[in-house]
């Protein structure tokens, strides 16, 4: 995902993802690993256009 979310948003995201995986698979939360991959807008494109070039 594109970088720029607050630490609080990231904390909430990983908590919600962990809860959903645990609920839907039965895996204990302590066995769920979430890896966030953030990219700068000049390193991410959609349809051949860099996000940094969008208006």
Q: Is residue 52 domain-resident?
A: no
Instruction: Report yes or no on 55 lying in a domain.
Output: no
pLDDT at position 17, please? Answer: 98
Largest CA distance in the chain: 43
Is 16 domain-assigned? Answer: yes
Is pLDDT at 55 greater than 80 in this prediction? Answer: no
- The answer to the question of residue 34 being in a domain is yes
Burial of 54 (0-12, 13-18, 19+ CB in 10 A): exposed
Question: pLDDT band at 51, cuts 50/70/90?
Answer: very high
Contact (CB, 8 A) for 2 and 38: yes
pLDDT single digits (tens) 8-41:
999 999 999 999 999 999 999 999 999 999 999 9
**Quick one: pLDDT at residue 31?**
98
Number of domains in the chain: 1
Q: What is the pLDDT of residue 39?
A: 96
Consecutive H or E run containing 17: helix 7-25
Range of the domain at 20: 7-43
Residue 54 domain flag: no
Q: CA of 25: how far to CAs of 14, 15, 31, 47, in Å?
A: 16, 15, 11, 34
């Amino acid at each position: 995902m594109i970088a720029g979310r607050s630490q609080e948003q990231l904390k909430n995201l990983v908590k919600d993802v962990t809860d959903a995986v645990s609920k839907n698979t039965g895996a204990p939360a302590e066995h769920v690993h979430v890896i966030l991959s953030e990219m700068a807008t000049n390193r991410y494109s959609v349809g051949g256009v860099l996000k940094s070039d969008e208006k």
